[in-house]
Amino acid sequence: MEAREDLGLVHVYEPGREDEDAPALLLLHGTGADEHDLLGLGRALHPGAALLSPRGPVDERGANRWFRRLREGVFDVDDVVERAGELAGFAGRAAEAYGLGPRRLVAVGFSNGANIAAALLLLHPGLLRGAALFASAAPLQGRDPGPADLSGTDVFMAAGAADTVTPLDQARLLAGQLGDRGARVVVHEHPGGHTLPPAVAGAAAEWLAGLR
Residues labelled as active-site residues: 111, 163, 194
Cβ distance 89 to 8 under 8 Å?
A: yes
Residue 63 to residue 133: CA distance in whole angstroms: 21
Residue 78 to residue 88: CA distance in whole angstroms: 16
Long-range pairs, 172-176, Cβ under 8 A, ≥24: 173/137, 173/138, 174/118, 174/133, 174/136, 174/137, 174/138, 174/139
Cβ distance 86 to 57 under 8 Å?
A: yes
Residue 204 to residue 37: CA distance in whole angstroms: 18
